[in-house]
Amino acid sequence: MKRLLNIHEAPTILFTLLIGIIFAFISPAFLGLDNVKLILDQNTTTCIVAIGMTMVILLGGIDLSVGSVLALTATSVGLFLSSGMSPWLASLLGVAVGVLCGIFNGYFIAVLNIPDIIVTLASMYIFRGLAVGISGGTWMTNFPSQFQFFGQGKLLGISFPLLVAIILVIGFVLLLKFTRFGRRIYAIGGNKSAARLAGIGIAKSKFTVYVYSGMLVGIAAVIFASKVGSVQASTAGSNLSFEVMAAVLIGGGSIFGGIGTIAGTVVGVLLMGMIKNGLIIAKVSPFWVDAATGFLIILAIVINTLQHVRQNRRKGGELI
Amino acid sequence: MSTLARKLPFKPNRMLVQLLLLLLIILFFSFQAPYFLSFTNFMNVLNQMVEVGLIAIPMTMIIISGAMDLSVGSILAFSAVCMGIAFEGGLNIWLSVIVGLLAGLACGAVNGYLIARHRMQAIVVTIGMLVMLRGLVYVLNEGRPVSGFPDAFYFMGQQYIWGIPFNAIFLAVMFLLVTFVMKKTRFGAYVYGIGNNEETVHYSGISVIRTRFILFLLSGLFSALAGVFLVSRLASAEATSGTNIELDVITATLIGGTHIFGGRGSLSGTFVGLLIIVFLRNGLNLLGVSVLYQSVILGILLLIAVGKQKA
Amino acid sequence: MANPVLTMEGISKEFPGVKALEGVDFELYPGEVHALMGENGAGKSTLMKILSGVYAPTNGIIRLKGEEVVFRNPLAAQHQGVSIIHQEFNLFPNLSAAENMYIDRPEIAGRFGWLSWSKMYREAQQLVDSIGGGGIDVRKEVRHLGVHSQQVIEIAKALSFQADVLIMDEPSAALPENEVQKMFEVVERLKAQGVAIVYVSHRMKEIFEIADKVTVLRDGRKIATRNISEVTEQSLIRMMVGKEVSQLYPVRPFQQRKETVLQVKQLSLDAAHAVSFQLHKGEILGLFGLPGSGSHTIACRLFGLAKGTGEIGINGKPVQINSPAEAKEMRIAYVPPDRHRQGIIKPLSIRSNLALPILRDLSEGGRLNQEKIKKISQYYMDRLHIKSPNDLQSVDFLSGGNQQKVVIGKWLASKPEILILEEPTRGVDVGAKAEIYNIIHELAQNGLSILLISSEMPEIIGLSDRILVLHKGEFVHEFGHGEADQEQLLKRASNPRLVEGDAV
């Protein structure tokens, strides 16, 4: 038991359980099998995007542009489809668009060394503008029926998007845990100068992370487009980056870098999803959802800073 | 050429480039867009730039001090809606304005408390506020706009004095006032000092916490002011007001030569940056370029402005 | 005896305007602990940096196992078998101990090139156990380990590179007393494994306990290399100190003690344990101690940069000092040790820097009085002989000495009663040093009470009216006017117990 509590994510998991119990009391439907399925299904895109954001935050970085990347990719897929491309090819090209966005961010951040907050703030508007531009400002709908498989299909009795999310989560957990690339991310986030001394190429790792992040958003976008069945470029994923950031921080990721896991992030995503779902089931105004997200971000940074201060105090004495 | 460059001090040189860019933009649109070059249009532009301009004032100070505030757009909307609700609740319009300003100050105080007192990362805290306040705005009035303010109130955003919009005059006065503060007062000296070397300022027996706190208070206040002016100009308080305004504000500030890592920058530079942006947007509007395409151009401008700073 | 594992021949290093090392020879044999000693500025750290691949020497040859080598960077040096353990560890606090040792190393890969954690843990634990760190669980994250364990991890990391040569820079500075012995045990094991160790330390006691040989540097030259059995503490100190202090220092006549200005009672925090002392009007009180002995902590506490227990009285009245702003109110000034980070604001002008602490007095209703500022600034430019065409010049362009004068000037402008000077001449050339010493002397003559904290012994001896010696956070001795010399001072500071017949 004690060992369980020592896990970094323990507080988040406990908190998630607590929230679940509270909602179950308010509304018995909350814990119904259908609703649980719904929560899982509703959060697959967020979860996939959050994998990339976890890596970015592990590096000590930030990415505001993921929502716009999602919009741009989803719109592109819509365009590809409407030009009669096969769903598979269109989706693949869509993911490639995501990768290109990642390369764009990575180039400015890692190669040109411009602060990530500025680059992703700018690219957030650039990608969004492009998305609206190529969509012509209208809704993209009428996707071919085969395309629906990506967002609504089932494989082996499990919904396809959920399956993709699970595979990606497992894949990236392994990548972070068992490859030199993954460990470099932790090393850079933990102590940049020590990483440099150990001969780790910081720019290269950063660049790769942003490219991976772009790719993941691309995959999420395909699922998103297929599930919703329509894309409006100007609003798709508009609050996504903030929600995902909140999920990572709540899941135990440190804004100072180096600390956090994908497993924790997944719990964070589930927690956010539960709160959203629970608020709706409890018939509270859906507008509270955004307020709650913002509050959770602030809560997460408060906890984050407290932990950081506590650790530094132990190291460096009581000097302020 | 090189000797000339050496003779010219650095700052005016930079300002010259900015003014040249502004001139180019004005020239370009004068030829391209038929209605661009006219007194009415120019006054129109000035009338519309006030909200961005008001927020750019504290944003410049905050970026000079080495931080950033992304919550300004949400504070604007929050204050505007608070004002609207107070008015609907039967409060006198000017008292409602005060309620709006107080709401902005309160938001600024929360930011300041967390960032200055507890040294939390400004970016994350203000992102949290951005999301939370926008949510609260919708919660407060369920997304429906508030309108029907008395005529006296529309004076602030719609009245022209000798052909010049009142709010633009107000903005100009604010710019002059804060320029004075930044150049001639102790507070300004502290802000530049903190941006260049926070530790030395602390070691000089000056309260860094207080200075930072005041900066975020100011940011809250000016965002609220912008909210009031916006409501007055558009005659309604809406939940979506001020969305994405931070891009314009930050771009104006950084194009205006304020350094992203703090320590350097000026309000006069920001003012020119502001003009560049509003004329650009206005010209593009007249050419029929969509608002979101304009964001692409602004985003690229932002990248160029910061990219230049590294070199 | 076997062949040397490492030889350095005729190593010189020049920096612009400074010769840090001149023709230094150095030989290191496998399985020996070789102490490197010298005063601050003697060239120890430059030599270490050359040896560990940070700097390239201007002249000279390094041979490793008989072959000439050039280290391109610290990582290359490490791969060739020369590792350094800095005072500040280079660890990843968020990673496990094992990973800290094996980060980004291909040799730990398992199947398909994937990281094999079991293999890494196994090898790391083996290495750590082999040097007597058996109690350490290498799976633990480094931030949860104590200082000694972290040091063991650093050593084990070096060994994982098959280190032949290990440089240890002040390895005991960060350790509590009871863990120094543990560290020695680790060093003994390394010796037994044939690793050659360069041991850099100020602490005499440790040198005699652990070292086999000692090399003394002074003013960038090698003075001698001796077997430890051939030297005594006395002879070592004499080698380090060399000739007597030159004419840098003003003559300070004996002062009659005046009234107490600052009274400190039972002050405790961090490195300082219940220290008490008094500072009198017009007195220069020197505080001397080896790194980590607590003098810096005392300064921080007095200037409100840190909180702790104990009483502080100024002019007989008890006071609370919770922030630098409050310290300033009480007319305490502090010239901090790190001028670049804490003393000056680089891009700003001399004038802005000089006026910074007293802007409140120089403004009316918040508005700055430029006339007053200009006057004050020009006064201190002249008074301290700050060399610059005018006071609107950025301090960035000034020499180290002039920058330091700006820091002193900005605090003099605040008209303090108590001036704390910490390392007032660090990184300052000799000419400016003499000037600064004269200024300090003059200030005291005019009634300013000065607390002088410095690691440079000649400076402390040359200037102070009284010297208090700190050892591990406690005062162990007080030297009256003219009583101290460098041998005595160093002895008391490094190991007070060795001094016989001494009642503290």
When CB atoms are compared, the residue of B68, B139, B296 closest to A129 is B296
Q: Are A189 and A202 in contact (CB under 8 A)?
A: no
Indicate the DSSP class of residue C96: B
Q: How far apart are CA A49 and CA A262, in angstroms?
A: 11
Q: C271 has which bridge partners? A: none
Closest CA of chain B from C392, distance in Å: 14
Q: Do A298 and B128 touch (CB under 8 A)?
A: yes
In the predicted model, what is the mean pLDDT of chain A? 84
Task: Tokens 């668009």: give the residue.
Answer: A97
By the CB < 8 Å criterion, does B304 face chain A?
A: no
Higher pLDDT, A21 or C464: C464
Q: Provide, as residue numbers in chain C, all residues whose Cβ is less than 8 Å from the Cβ of B192.
A: 348
Q: What is the DSSP string of chain A?
A: -HHHHHSTTHHHHHHHHHHHHHHHHH-GGGGSHHHHHHHHHHTHHHHHHHHHHHHHHHTT---S-HHHHHHHHHHHHHHHHHTT--HHHHHHHHHHHHHHHHHHHHIIIIIS---HHHHHHHHHHHHHHHHHHHHTTS-B----GGGHHHHH-EETTEEHHHHHHHHHHHHHHHHHHHSHHHHHHHHHHH-HHHHHHTT--HHHHHHHHHHHHHHHHHHHHHHHHHHHS-B-TTTTTTTHHHHHHHHHHHTT--TTSS---HHHHHHHHHHHHHHHHHHHHTT--TTHHHHHHHHHHHHHHHHHHHHHHHHHHHHHTTB-
By the CB < 8 Å criterion, does C95 face chain A?
A: yes
Token pair recorded at residue B106:
């309160």
**CA dihedral sign of residues B36, B39, B41, B42:** positive
Q: What is the ipTM for the molecules in this complex?
A: 0.82
Token pair recorded at residue C137:
């669980």
Pairing of the two strands C18-28 and C6-15 = antiparallel
Sequence letter at residue B176 = L
pLDDT at A318: 32
In this model, does residue C105 exceed pLDDT 90? Answer: no
| Phi and psi at residue C335, to the nearest 5° | -95, 105
pLDDT digits (tens, 9 = 90+) for A34-79: 888 888 888 899 999 999 999 999 999 999 999 999 999 999 998 8
When CB atoms are compared, the residue of A64, A289, A301 closest to B125 is A301
Q: How far apart are CA A120 and CA A122, in angstroms?
A: 5
In this model, does residue B282 exceed pLDDT 80? Answer: yes
Q: Is B248 helix (H, G, I), strand (E, B) or coil?
A: helix
Q: Where are the domains of chain C?
A: 6-241, 261-498
By the CB < 8 Å criterion, does B187 face chain C?
A: yes
In the predicted model, what is the mean pLDDT of chain C? 86
| The domains spanning C6-241 and C261-498 adopt the same CATH topology | yes
Band (pLDDT 50/70/90 cuts) for residue C416 is very high
Q: Do A291 and B244 touch (CB under 8 A)?
A: no
Q: Provide, as residue numbers in chain B, all residues whose Cβ is less than 8 Å from the Cβ of C352.
A: 189, 193
Indicate the DSSP class of residue B267: H
In this model, does residue B268 exceed pLDDT 60? Answer: yes
Q: Are C299 and C422 in contact (CB under 8 A)?
A: yes
Burial C234-255 (b: 16+ CB within 10 A, else e): eebbebbbeeeeeebbbebeeb
Closest CA of chain C from B280, distance in Å: 34
Q: Do B139 and A288 touch (CB under 8 A)?
A: yes
Q: Do A190 and C93 touch (CB under 8 A)?
A: yes
Higher pLDDT, C89 or A166: A166
Q: Are A257 and A160 in contact (CB under 8 A)?
A: no
Domain, as residue range, for A130? 10-319
When CB atoms are compared, the residue of B131, B296, B310 closest to A293 is B131
Split into its structural domains, chain A has a count of 1
Alpha-carbon torsion angle C455, C456, C460, C461, nearest 10: 130
Q: Provide, as residue numbers in chain A, all residues whose Cβ is less than 8 Å from the Cβ of C95.
A: 183, 186-187, 190
B-contacting residues of A 54-83, CB under 8 Å?
62, 64
pLDDT, averaged in runs of 10, over chain A (320 residues): 57 79 78 81 91 94 92 91 86 94 94 90 91 80 76 79 92 91 92 88 94 95 87 80 88 86 90 83 75 81 75 43
Q: How many beta-carbon pairs below 8 A join chains B and C?
A: 70
Token pair recorded at residue A260:
């956090």
pLDDT at B6: 41
Out of A213-217, C230-234, C430-434, least confident range: C430-434
Q: Do C357 and B264 touch (CB under 8 A)?
A: no
pLDDT at C15: 78
pLDDT at B120: 84
By the CB < 8 Å criterion, does C145 face chain A?
A: no
Task: Tokens 């086999």: give the residue.
Answer: C212
In this model, does residue C237 exceed pLDDT 90? Answer: no
pLDDT at A317: 34
| Helix intervals (H) in C199-291 | 204-210, 233-241
Q: Is B187 helix (H, G, I), strand (E, B) or coil?
A: helix
CATH number, position A15: 1.10.3470
In terms of CA atoms, which chain C residue is nearest residue A198? C75
When CB atoms are compared, the residue of A128, A294, A304 closest to B295 is A128
Cα A265 to chain centroid distance, Å, stands at: 8
Q: Do B189 and C360 touch (CB under 8 A)?
A: no
Pairing of the two strands C165-169 and C82-85 = parallel
Q: Are C411 and C334 in contact (CB under 8 A)?
A: yes
Closest CA of chain B from A252, distance in Å: 15
- Sheet order of strands, C33-37 included: C82-85, C165-169, C196-200, C33-37, C213-218, C221-227
Query: Which chains are adjacent to chain A, needing at least 3 Cβ pairs under 8 Å?
Result: B, C
In this model, does residue C192 exceed pLDDT 80? Answer: yes
When CB atoms are compared, the residue of A62, A126, A285 closest to B296 is A126
By the CB < 8 Å criterion, does A280 face chain B?
A: no
C261-498 folds as Rossmann fold (3.40.50)
In terms of CA atoms, which chain A residue is nearest residue C117? A178
Q: Are B253 and B275 in contact (CB under 8 A)?
A: no
Closest CA of chain C from B224, distance in Å: 25
Band (pLDDT 50/70/90 cuts) for residue B10 is very low
pLDDT at B1: 33
Token pair recorded at residue C397:
């362009």
Out of A19-28, A113-122, C64-73, C199-208, least confident range: A19-28
Query: Which chains are adjacent to chain C, needing at least 3 Cβ pairs under 8 Å?
Result: A, B
Write the Ramachandran bin of B63: left for phi over 0, alpha for psi from -120 to 50, otherwise beta: alpha
Q: Do C356 and B185 touch (CB under 8 A)?
A: no
Tell me how many degrees the CA angle B249-A255-A257 measures, rounded to the nearest 5.
125
pLDDT at B243: 84
What does the pLDDT average to over B106-127? 90
Closest CA of chain C from A224, distance in Å: 33
Q: Provide, as residue numbers in chain B, all residues whose Cβ is less than 8 Å from the Cβ of A290.
A: 131-132, 134-135, 138
Q: Provide, as residue numbers in chain B, all residues whose Cβ is less than 8 Å from the Cβ of A135.
A: none
% of chain C beyond a pLDDT of 90: 27
Q: Do C115 and A179 touch (CB under 8 A)?
A: yes
Q: How many beta-carbon pairs below 8 A join chains A and C?
A: 75
Q: Do A183 and C104 touch (CB under 8 A)?
A: yes
Q: Which CATH superfamily is domain B11-307 in?
A: ABC transporter involved in vitamin B12 uptake, BtuC (1.10.3470.10)
- Decide if domain C6-241 falls under CATH 3.40.50.2300: no
Q: Do C347 and B190 touch (CB under 8 A)?
A: no
What does the pLDDT average to over C430-451? 88
